[in-house]
Structure 1
Amino acid sequence: MRTLLKVEMLKLRSARIWWIIAAGAVLPGVITCLSFWEESTLVWREYLHVAMLIFNVQSLLTFSAFAAVMSAREYEENTMEMTLCYPYPRHHFLIAKLMIMVVVIAVTVAIFALFTIGFGLGLVAEPLPSAILWLFIRVLLQLIFMHVLIIPAAFLAAMLSRMALPSVMLGIVSMCICMMLYNTTFIQFIPPAIPFVLSDHLLGMDVMSLLPNYTIHWSILAAYFVLLLFAGVRMPLALQGKE
């Protein structure tokens, strides 16, 4: 597995897509600052809440695009047959990509937190309360886990189509769902939208309607992850056998 991780890192280094992390991490804070630039009564909870909502919507595209490049590059460059000649079970390749995505998501969230708080120190008049800071960090840790649970959908879309574009389109559609259906009650049952809705409640804002028991949301995410990860391991093999 260590060899596969090293190979994935080398492929990503040559792909030159690390700028996606910087854009996905910094832009939400910039957009939030511009939105509240002339606000004189801004408080930290409101500022962090808006920044997190923007981050969650944008991350649906950011992480899908990153996963798309990781999954579809072998097909687009016609190197998949050579890759599968290595003496590793085929599901190890998908697990290696998933492990890379865990790091990518965690690093993006960490950079987002640092820049957002940094921008906020220059924008919000009051000092940052320690209780708000630790609440923000706890929500971000759960947010990492939630985005990891929905990433297999982007892997599957790229592997089935053998192109990066369907995964990118999946991210765009997920963004549209969040922006168009945020005031509905059933958005909380749509897996890609759960990080967007649930983080709002975890931060204590309760702007969107949500069931008081979070177990159902975590169960949906877990089932979504297991089902699509299994499909990502098995379905490409079945499709390849039909060719």
Structure 2
Amino acid sequence: MSRFDTQAFDVVASGLLRPRWGLPAGVSALITTREGGCSAGAFASFNLGSHVGDEPDAVARNRARLRAHLPAEPLWLDQVHGCAVADADCATGVPQADAAVARSAQRVCAVLTADCLPVLLCDDGATVVGAAHAGWRGLAAGVLEATVARMGVAPRSLRAWLGPAIGPQAFEVGDEVRATFLAADARAASAFVAGAEAGKWLADIYMLARRRLQAAGVTRIEGGGLCTVASPQQFYSYRRDRVSGRFASLIWLTAR
């Protein structure tokens, strides 16, 4: 599934999709696309990133439109490609973190991406949810392992969903990126294919994330394979466009 697949989602509204993921009762998730907002130019039209150069008023209007479909304002993060995990139950402002977890109902965890991999998680008992921003630096730093640990439940009880990200046909990296992953997991070599130039590799970020999650004890993993670069009508891509908006992946516990 390298291009946008409508069979993988239910349409909630223009620019708002619900992943067809085996969620337990009591958990809801959404992702946004680039459609249905008011941003213009390179940010057209449903940009939710306030740090990319878009007009602040347009971002505010887009976030207000998203908020109308949520139980509360999301906990927006200052994402820095690290592995810090914020607690959405008590965090205030815009925490510097690349993941968030929540145990209280209607606390919305959210990450913004435009090629990096968004990962949503929940447990079978619908007691905790999490969202992680997993670019290659965050993956290598352990953001998924940190999120799983912060959720505080048995990893075997968790379910994960991998959202739209740069696909393996488009994600060219250098020797240093491959070496970073192989230093921690020699079998991660299977996620890299030699590129056209010496020292260049095509990386499968979905495979790398699955390996990390499985090593952390999470075995039920859905989604993956939807390339942002190959879906210009639906998703922002920094690698493709250089100047780009951001779309959101969100998860929360519903009121009981």
**TM-score calculated relative to the size of structure 1:** 0.27
**TM-score calculated relative to the size of structure 2:** 0.26
Which of structures 1 and 2 has the bigger CA Rg? 1
